Amino acid sequence: MHTTVTEPANAAFAMGPALLFCPADRPERFAKAAERSDAVILDLEDAVAPDAKGAARRNLAEIPLDPRRTIVRINSAGSAHVEADLEALASTPYRTLMLAKAESPEQLRGLAAADPGLTVIALCETALGVVNAAAIAAEPNVVALMWGAEDLVASLGGTSSRAEDGGYRAVALHARSSVLLAAGAFGKAAIDAVYTAIPDLDGLAAEAADAAASGFAAKACIHPNQVAPVRAAYAPSPAAVAAARELLAAADAAGTGVFQFEGRMIDGPILRHAEAVLRRAGEHPARYQI
């Protein structure tokens, strides 16, 4: 029954589930952001005013962080700032960038030509970017896709990504699912959008739990207080870990393709769900395929 199968896309995303944005023009926050999160996203785009972008770029080289846990968000490929962003990035040890408003595979190829050593998280946050998400995910230098709700709705001429009850509108849910499916189809990780209601930690926890259950590898945060709820959403409970171990042990004992366990039919996908629980707990179970 044991066979080697392809790891799920999110298994390869090693930075952790809670990614924290930090404006690159606020160097005094760099170390704190890195300490409080699984990885920090140093932002050269929306968080930095045009007249502060030069200083923000200089900060990248002057305030060192662990490059294995650092992402740099650069401005969109069509902006007047992207060339200077890439030049600044070249003088740092950081090799993972996030491309804001990614919209086409040609943009990713341009980044590969500029620096073949860069890996890219493509941020699909416009209508064109979401429509082209699969083509973007297929590019070899792309390691993950992220989606963004507010820029997406703005690109459509809308006014809000969420309804009065706090849940996403249908178009935002469609974009979220489209980006997740596109990433998974090409073996890339998917990162869930930020939760902008900073005081609403309960709402964040519920959304992060849904992201984890749906297959998102991580969720982006905009405030340090959001890190703990995201981490908690991705950390399985002791009861869930015990249940997953028991189920996989039962599969070993059954030695057949499909079997019953505690009144449920168990087959390959259910076993892979259990494996995902154990991976989040830091274990590395054998892989199954039926």
Q: How far from chain centre, in Å, is Cα 234?
A: 13
Q: Which amino acid is at 237?
A: S
Tokens 């405030």, located at residue: 223
**Residues 183, 60 within the same domain:** yes
Residue 219 contacts residue 230 (beta carbons within 8 Å): yes
For a pLDDT cut of 90, what percent of the chain falls above it?
76
**Domain membership of residue 156 as a residue range:** 9-234
**Residues 243, 202 within the same domain:** no
Give me the CATH number covering residue 162.
3.20.20.60
**Looking at residue 1, what is its pLDDT?**
36
pLDDT digits (tens, 9 = 90+) for 77-101: 999 999 999 999 999 999 999 999 9
**Looking at residue 3, what is its pLDDT?**
35
Average pLDDT over residues 111-117: 96
Run of H or E residues at 88: helix 82-90
Q: How confident is the model at residue 8 (pLDDT cuts 50, 70, 90)?
A: low
**Looking at residue 290, what is its pLDDT?**
37
Q: Is residue 288 part of a domain?
A: no
State residue 148 phi and psi, 5-degree precision: -135, 130
What is the pTM (predicted TM-score) of this model?
0.85
**Residues 24, 98 within the same domain:** yes
Q: How confident is the model at residue 207 (pLDDT cuts 50, 70, 90)?
A: very high
Run of H or E residues at 45: none
Run of H or E residues at 218: strand 218-221
* Distance between CA atoms of residues 45 and 220, nearest Å: 15
**Residues 23, 135 within the same domain:** yes
Average pLDDT over residues 21-47: 97
* Distance between CA atoms of residues 27 and 165, nearest Å: 37
**Residues 61, 129 within the same domain:** yes
Residue 31 contacts residue 57 (beta carbons within 8 Å): no
* Distance between CA atoms of residues 190 and 103, nearest Å: 16
**Residues 205, 81 within the same domain:** yes
**Residues 188, 117 within the same domain:** yes
**Looking at residue 271, what is its pLDDT?**
86
The number of domains in the chain is: 2
Per-residue pLDDT at 239 exceeds 80:
no
